[in-house]
Amino acid sequence: MSEPRTASLRPAPPEVDRRAASQAAVAARRARAAVKAAIAAHEVSPLTVLDKATAEPEGVEGRLRVTEFLLSVPAIGTTKMKDALERLAISPAKRLGGLGRHQRLRLREFLIERESRSGRQKNQLVVLAGPTAVGKGTVSTYIRENYPDVLLSVSATTRAPRPGEVDGVNYYFVDDAEFDRMIADGELLEWATVHNASRYGTPRTPIERALEAGRSVLLEIDLQGARSVRAAMPEARLIFLLPPTWEELVRRLIGRGTESAAEQQRRLETAKIELAAQDEFDHRVVNTDVAEAAREVVDLMKIRTAPSRP
Ligand SMILES: Nc1nc2c(ncn2[C@@H]2O[C@H](COP(=O)(O)OP(=O)(O)O)[C@@H](O)[C@H]2O)c(=O)[nH]1
Ligand SMILES: Nc1ncnc2c1ncn2[C@@H]1O[C@H](COP(=O)(O)OP(=O)(O)O)[C@@H](O)[C@H]1O
């Protein structure tokens, strides 16, 4: 029996360190096995696992070897796995968290193609959320301009239009009385007061019509809204947009120059809380390059597998 570790400053005896290390290794192995079992049982999409690995290269998902990851995907056996790795130019020794950017994108495309081939494509309601200034508006606008098949939902808001904003395109600009009426008449799928200021809400009818007509719909809304949509429509797919780094998020917020210094500070505090909620989402996309992030979001609309919930 070894002694319990009481004085934290005293170096632990080597056997304690060794035992702790081997216990940690066993726990990590079990956690990886649980992820693989969840993929194999269709409880989690392989893409969700890949996204987590990207966001946290040293986490459970990031430590998965690409070989064991692919083998856990239903209907991929050793031969298909080897062929895929060769085609994707990924070494079998790689872990998911250690993939290069291009390798990761190739693996993503491969998985998406498999999933969309595996059954009838379903029209998707996709929610894009993320912290202030991460680029939600920029990525959504890129999608509206480059992917006409996707309907970008237009929200109603009580905030005043900014120069250049067009009623019915950027938002439906309404007054408080009209917003109250929309709530009372059940016209909004969800609504929230954002940044302690104005109210924003998602009109229900255009979304239902678009989904019925076979189009995918993208909602660019805040975290509260994302949670409400999930409660109202559990089949919705939730995507969290991440900045490449915290410093870059701060740079984007300051660079945009639309908020006062005090307001910027307040939004950064909210951003920390919002970033902490990223695990609630089905997928995470890092917005390094706008076109690439937009493509990843649109690609995620093609996947049929039901998103897994934490
Ligand atoms: N819940 C909810 N949030 C929305 C809706 N429309 C926009 N938002 C969010 O409201 C916030 C403020 O949007 P906006 O006034 O355009 O400012 P900016 O995005 O900070 O430039 C953003 O976080 C949007 O995602 C909506 O219909 N519902
Ligand atoms: N991938 C990117 N690289 C560099 N700058 C970006 C990128 N995406 C967005 N931006 C810039 O970051 C700022 C915030 O983007 P915006 O779309 O307004 O964020 P949000 O809608 O999430 O608040 C804008 O100035 C925008 O031009």
**Cα separation, 134 vs 130, whole angstroms:** 7
Q: How many CB atoms lie within 10 A of CB 232?
A: 13
Instruction: Judge whether residue 300 has pLDDT over 70.
Output: yes
Instruction: Judge whether residue 202 has pLDDT over 80.
Output: yes
| Nearest of 129, 56, 136, 118 to residue 306 by alpha carbon | 118
How much distance in Å is there from the Cα of 138 to the middle of ligand 2? Answer: 6
Residue 38, judged by CB atoms within 10 A of its CB (0-12, 13-18, 19+), counts as middle
How much distance in Å is there from the Cα of 171 to the middle of ligand 1? Answer: 10
Instruction: Judge whether residue 288 has pLDDT over 60.
Output: yes
Cβ-based neighbours of 115, under 8 Å, separated by 6 or more: 45, 47, 302, 303, 304, 305
What pLDDT is stored for residue 310 in this prediction? 45
The pLDDT of 173-193, averaged and rounded, is: 96
Token pair for residue 71? 């083998």
* Residue list, ligand 1 pocket, CB within 6 Å: 132, 136-137, 155, 159, 190, 192, 194, 200-202, 220-222, 224-225
What pLDDT is stored for residue 303 in this prediction? 60
Global pTM?
A: 0.69
* Residue with CA at minimum distance from ligand 1 atom 27: 201
How much distance in Å is there from the Cα of 200 to the middle of ligand 1? Answer: 7
The CB of 290 under 6 Å from ligand 2? The reply is: yes
Among 9-13, 26-30, 36-40, 284-288, whose mean pLDDT is lowest? 9-13
The CB of 267 under 6 Å from ligand 2? The reply is: no
What pLDDT is stored for residue 156 in this prediction? 97
What pLDDT is stored for residue 123 in this prediction? 63
* Residue with CA at minimum distance from ligand 2 atom 12: 252
How much distance in Å is there from the Cα of 194 to the middle of ligand 1? Answer: 7
What pLDDT is stored for residue 308 in this prediction? 45
